[in-house]
Amino acid sequence: MSNGTPEPLVRFINVRKSYDGKADAVRALNLDVETGEFLTLLGPSGSGKTTTLTMLAGFEQPTEGRIFVGGADVTRVPVEKRGIGMVFQNYALFPNMTVGENIAFPLTVRRTPRAEIAAKVARALSMVRLDGLADRRPQQLSGGQQQRVAVARALVFEPRLVLLDEPLGALDRQLREQMQYELKHLHARLGVTMVYVTHDQIEAMTMSDRVAVFSTGQLRQVAPPRLLYEAPESLFVAQFLGESNTLPGTIARLSGSECSVTLADGTTVIATAVGACAAGTAVNVAVRPEKMVLGAAAAACANKVQATLLEVSFLGDQLRLRLGAFGREDIVVKLANGAGQETLDPGAVLTIGWHAGDCRALAS
C-alpha cells in the first residue's frame, strides 16, 4: 500500500526484451495492471504485445527490467509457480481427455482432493454455460464451446490473474462478437484481473476497462477506450484506433492548449495542441470523420471549409462521404443514416466544419 492507494496487481518496470541482442521486441516498458481490471494489449503484428504477455506468463524472460505480481518479483519465477491462468488462441485442449478432465487438469497437477475437484469442475462448467458436457471430448464441441472450456480451465483453480492470447481469433465474426460480451460479463461477475492480447480494435474497445496500445516494441498510450479514441496522444494511436483525417501542417500560433495550424495548402485551422508543440513545430491535425458536420451545422464551427463531394457509400447505420478539400481527395465524413441526404449528390459543393476541441494537433 502507498498513500492509502492499493498497489497494482502487476507492474512492469523498465522492461526490455531482445531475442537477438540487436533489435528490441519490447523496450522501456513501464506498465501497471490494476487489481480486478480488464486490460487489453492492442497493436499490429510485431508491436510487442504478445511478447509482453509471454513475459508476464513466464514463457519468456526480460533482457532487462523486472516484473512484479502481487508485490512479488516474478521476473525469474517459472511458469508453473506463478499461479496464472492462461487461455490460448488454439485453446490447447487435450484431445485424449474429456471436457471435465481438461478443466480438472490444473487442479490435478496441484494435487487438489478429488471431492473438491468434482465440485470445482461442476462450478466452472456452469460458469461458462456448459453444464452436462463434462463427458464429451473437445472434438465433439463447436469452436465456441471449446473456447469456453479453455476459459473454464483457466479459471477453475481461482487464479488472481488470467492471461488471454487472442482467444477469439479462430471464431467466425458473429460468434466472436457474442463471445466478446460473454467474456466481458464473466469478468464483471468474477472480478478477476484479466490481461488480453488482440490486434482487433473493436474487440479491445468493446471489452476493456483500459487499452494499452503498442507499436514497434513501445507502449504508445494506455487509457480507457473512450479517452484513447477521443484524445489520442500520438498520430499512430489516432490512425490505428478507428479512422481519422490527418492533415499535415505547421503551428503558426500557440495559446495555452489551443493552436493555429497552417496546412500544406495554406488553410489555417484551430486545434488542441498535444505533445511538444511550439510555434514552427510540424504537426498532423487529426479529426475523426464523425466529428465533421455539414451545411448549417458547420456555420457554428471554428473550422469550416468548402469541399466537393466525390463519393457516397452506404454503411447501413452510417453514410461515408469522400470529399475533395485542402488540395486532397481523401477527406472522409461520416453521417448518421438519414442526416441531410437530400444534398448528397456527387459533385455537390458542401461546407464542412468541426470544432477546435474535436481535432488534435499531434507533434510528429
Is residue 4 domain-resident? no
Is residue 2 domain-resident? no
Is residue 222 domain-resident? yes
The CATH code of the domain that includes 320 is 2.40.50.100
Q: In terms of DSSP bridges, do strands 210-215 and 38-42 run parallel, antiparallel, or are they unpaired?
A: parallel
- State the pLDDT at residue 13: 98
What averages of pLDDT result for each successive group of 10 residues across the chain (364 residues)?
A: 74 97 95 97 96 97 97 95 91 92 94 92 92 94 91 93 90 86 91 95 94 97 96 94 94 92 95 87 95 91 95 89 95 82 80 94 85
Q: Give me the residues paired with residue 66 across strands.
A: 13
**Total domains present in the chain:** 2
DSSP conformation letters of 322-335? EEEETTEEEEEEEE
Strand, helix or coil at 317?
coil
Residue pair 238/362 in contact (Cβ under 8 Å)? The answer is: yes
DSSP conformation letters of 68-95? EETTEE-TT--GGGS--EEE-TT----T
- State the pLDDT at residue 315: 85
- State the pLDDT at residue 97: 95
Q: Which residues, 6 or more positions from 328, have their beta carbon under 8 angstroms from its beta carbon? A: none
The parent domain of residue 314 ranges over 243-363
pTM: 0.90
3-51 pLDDT tens trace? 567 889 999 999 999 999 899 999 999 999 999 999 999 999 999 999 9
* 59 grid coordinates: 514463457
Pick from 198, 216, 234: which residue ends a domain? 234
